[in-house]
Structure 1
Amino acid sequence: MKKILHLTISSEIGGGPEHIFQLMSGMPLEFESHIACPERGSYYGKFLKITSNRVVLLPHRKFSISYLISAYNYIKTNKIDLLHGHGKGAGFYCRLLSIFIRIPVVHTPHGINQKIEIGLINKIYIQFERLFSFLINAIVYVSKTEFEYAQQLKIWSNIPGHIINNGTKVILADQKSEWRAEKREQMNWTLEKVIITASRFDFQKNTIEFCKIADKLPEFTFVILGEGEEKSHCEFFCKTTGISNVLFVGNVPDPLNYFAAADVYLSTARWEGLSMAILESMAVGLPVVATKVIGNIDLVKSGETGFLYTIGDINEAVKYLLSVFEDVNYLNFSENTKNFHRISFSSESMCRKTESLYIDVLNSKSKN
C-alpha cells in the first residue's frame, strides 16, 4: 500500500477542496489517503471522515515554520510515499518538505491568474516557480488551456506535465428530478427562471458582474451560493442600486440540489483552472453562460452547451442568457451539457488517470 499526503491551505467551500475530496473518494485501496489542511472550513470534517482521521494541520492561507515542522514529522512518522500539493500555497510547502525528505512531489496549480505577469510580487512568484520546479516530479493541469498558459509563461516547462481534467460524479436523471422538485418547493420557486452561481466573493470570481447582469434581467431570479470578503460589497451594491432579484444564499451543504433546481449556471470569473461548480451544474444538465477565460473555454462549447461572453460585456452576457432560455434551444443545451460532462468530465475518469500518474511517478522514483 502506498501512502499519499495531499496538501491544501484551504478547507473552505470551493473547487480545490472538492477536487481533493473527489480524488480521495475515488482512489483504489492500494492507495491510503492522508491530508494536510486547515481546521477552518466545512471540508475539514469531510477530510477527517474520508481519511479516518489521517490529518495533519496547516494554517489557513499562510505560511508557518511550526506547521511545516509538524508536517515534516507527520511524513516521517507515517512513512508517506508521495506528496500531492494543491494550489500555490500548498505547492510552496511541498517544495520545502521535499528538500528535507526525498520523496516524490506531484503539484496541481488549480488555476493560474491571467494577470500573473503584472506586478512585482507576481513576477517574483514566476521566478520562484522557474527556479524550484526541479523539486517537482510531475505537474497536473486540470484543463488544456491552463497547460497552454503555463507553457506561455515558461513555468514548469522542464518537468512532465499531465492534463487531467477535473471531474465530478455523473448524476442520473431521476436523482436530478427529485432534487429539483424538493428544492424548488422549499425555495418557493414555482414558475421562476433561476440563474445560479457559486462564489468565494473574491477578485477572481468577479461576483459584482453577476449582480450587474441581474440588474438587466429583473424578470429572472439570480442566486449566489457561498461566502467571502466581498459579499457585503455585493449586497450593498444591490441595495443601493435597487436590484431586488439577487438572492444571497451563503454556504450550503448541498450545492447540487440548488444546481438541480436552477435553470442556467452563470460564471463571471476572471480566470479558472477548471471550475468544479460549473462541472457540477453540467452534471445536472444546466446550460452554462461564462466568461471567455482560461478553464471556462474548455467547458463551454458556444452554441452547444451554452455561450462564452467577453468579460465586462454585460449586454453580451444578457443576450446569451436570453438565447439559452428560448424553448427549443434550452432542451438542446441541457442534453448536450449532460452528455459532454458524462463523456469528458466524470470523477471516475479523473481518479483513474491520477492513479496511473501516481504509479508512474512512484515507479520512476524507485528506479533513481
Structure 2
Amino acid sequence: MKVLLISSRADWGGGPEHVYQLVQNLPSQIVPYVACPLDDTPYAALFALKLGAHRVVHIPHRKFTLGALLHLLSFCRAERIELLHSHGAGGGGYSRLLSRLLRIPVVHTYHGIHVKSMRPVKKWLRVALEFILGKATTVGIAVSPSEAALIKKYNLIDADRISLIENGVVIPDESVVLSSSAPHRIIHITRFDPIKNTLFISDVLKSLQELGRNEEFVFELLGDGEERKRLHAALRLGGFDDQVVFHGFQKFPDSFFTGALCYFSCSLREGMPLSVLEAQAAGLPVVVSDVEGNNDLVNHETTGLLFSIDNADSAARQLCRLADNSLLASSCAERARANVETNHSVQKMAKCVALIYKKAML
C-alpha cells in the first residue's frame, strides 16, 4: 500500500517528529511517501535519507497554494498513491481536496485543536472549515482523549469516524540519573511561539525570587523562535539572565535529561506533547501546565506535577516541592515511565495507525 504522509512543517517540533516515527516504524507492506517543505530543517533531509529523494515531494511551509495542490495531484497520480495521511491543519487542507480529486481515502491526524483563544469570527470560520473538510475525511485520528473530546465538542467530524491513537515514543533501556543538589536544572523544549508560552518562565522566576529560592534553579531552554528575543528582554529586566541557558535547537534533546531535576512545560494547550512523553520515558519527572494534552499524561502527584497556567506561583511551588522531596520525584518518574512503557511505545502507535490504514481502504 502506497501512502502519502502530508505535513506543512518539517522543522523542529513534535508534528514532524511524529511523521518521522511513522516513516521508520510502519509495517513493511506499507510504502510511505512524504510531502513537506523541502527547505525545512532537519526533517526534510531525514525523510529523504530514509526514503530516497524520489519519495519526498515539496509543499510550502504552513501555506496553501493552488500550485502546490496541482503538483501533489500530479505526483500522486505518477506514483499511484493509494491513501493519504495528513498531519495538522496545514497538511489537512491539501489532503482532503486531493482525496476528492483522486477518489482515494484520507486519514487526518489533528495534532491539537487550537481554537480556544481565537477571536469569535476567526474561531467560527476555522471550525466551519474543519467541519466541511471533516465531511471529506475517511478517518480522523485524535492523539489524546482531550483532543478527541474537543473534536466531538466542535463537531469537526462524525463521531463514528474518530479514532483515538495516543502518541508514542522510543523508550530508552535505562532511566536517567536525577538531580541531587542545587542548582537544579530544569529542561524546557520550545518553538518560542505563543502556544508554548515560554515567556511564562520569567514570571516563574519572579515567583521563585519572592520565595527566596530563585538561585537554586537554572532553566535550560532547547529550541528557537519568534518569542526568544522577548524572553531575553524580560529576563534582563528582572535580573534573571544567569538563571536561563539558551541552547538553541538540539539534534538529541534527550541528552540534556541526565542530571536534571525535571522537564517543564507551560504550554497553553497541546495535542499530546512528545517532549513530555520523551522525558517520562527517560525517567525524568515532569512539572507541566494543567491543560489539554498535558493532563492526559500527568496524574497529579502520581505521574508528575500539575500547575495552573494562570498562576506562576503555583508553578514555582511545584518546582520547589520536587527539589525538596527526592522520594516524590523518583516515584513520579517511575510511575510515568511505567505508563509510557505500557501505553506509549512508538511500535504500538505505528501498529495502530497501520490498522487504521487498513480500515480506511475497505
2:171 and 2:281 in contact (8 A); partners too: yes
2:338 match: 339
Tell me if 1:166 matches 2:167. yes
1:220 match: 217
The residue type equivalent to 1:29 in the other structure is S
Tell me if 1:229 matches 2:220. no
Task: Give 5+ residue unaligned stretches, structure 1.
Answer: none
Aligned structure 1 segments of 4 or more residues deviating by more than 3 angstroms: 189-192
SS of aligned partner of 2:257: helix
The 1-side partners of 2:69 and 2:347 are apart by 32
Question: Matches of residues 126-165 of structure 1 in structure 2 within 5 Å?
Answer: 126-157=127-158, 160-165=161-166
C-alpha change, 1:173 and 1:132, in structure 2 (3 Å) is closer
1:280 match: 278
Moved more, 78-87 or 252-261: 252-261
1:227-268 Cα deviation digits (max 9, x unpaired):
111111111111122112011111011111113342201110
Tell me if 1:30 matches 2:29. yes
1:139 and 1:159 in contact (8 A); partners too: no
1:99 match: 100
The residue type equivalent to 2:189 in the other structure is A
Tell me if 1:50 matches 2:41. no
SS of aligned partner of 1:260: coil
Moved more, 287-296 or 127-136: 127-136
Tell me if 1:249 matches 2:262. no
The 2-side partners of 1:72 and 1:165 are apart by 30
User: Offset at 1:126?
Assistant: 0.6
User: Offset at 1:41?
Assistant: 2.0
The residue type equivalent to 2:169 in the other structure is T
User: Offset at 1:218?
Assistant: 2.6
The residue type equivalent to 1:298 in the other structure is D
1:84-143 Cα deviation digits (max 9, x unpaired):
000001101111211211110000010011515633222111111212312100001000
Question: Matches of residues 1-368 of structure 1 in structure 2 within 5 Å?
Answer: 2-39=1-38, 40-53=40-53, 54-113=55-114, 115=116, 118-157=119-158, 160-173=161-174, 176=176, 192-215=183-206, 216=208, 217-243=214-240, 244-325=242-323, 326-362=325-361, 364=362
**RMSD of aligned residue pairs (Cα, Å):** 1.8
The 1-side partners of 2:5 and 2:201 are apart by 33
User: Offset at 1:287?
Assistant: 1.1
C-alpha change, 1:159 and 1:62, in structure 2 (3 Å) is farther
The residue type equivalent to 1:343 in the other structure is T
Task: Give 5+ residue unaligned stretches, structure 2.
Answer: 209-213
User: Offset at 1:193?
Assistant: 1.5
The 2-side partners of 1:265 and 1:229 are apart by 22
The 2-side partners of 1:211 and 1:92 are apart by 37
SS of aligned partner of 2:171: coil
C-alpha change, 1:260 and 1:25, in structure 2 (3 Å) is farther
Q: Percent identity, aligned pairs only?
A: 30
User: Offset at 1:158?
Assistant: 5.1
C-alpha change, 1:260 and 1:350, in structure 2 (3 Å) is farther
Alignment coverage as a number of residue pairs: 352
2:211 match: none
TM-score (norm: length of structure 1): 0.92
1:194 and 1:264 in contact (8 A); partners too: yes
1:68 and 1:97 in contact (8 A); partners too: yes
C-alpha change, 1:7 and 1:109, in structure 2 (3 Å) is same
User: Offset at 1:154?
Assistant: 1.7
The 1-side partners of 2:266 and 2:191 are apart by 12
1:8 and 1:85 in contact (8 A); partners too: yes
1:226 and 1:250 in contact (8 A); partners too: yes
1:132-184 Cα deviation digits (max 9, x unpaired):
3121000010000100111111211355111100010111117x46xx9xxx9
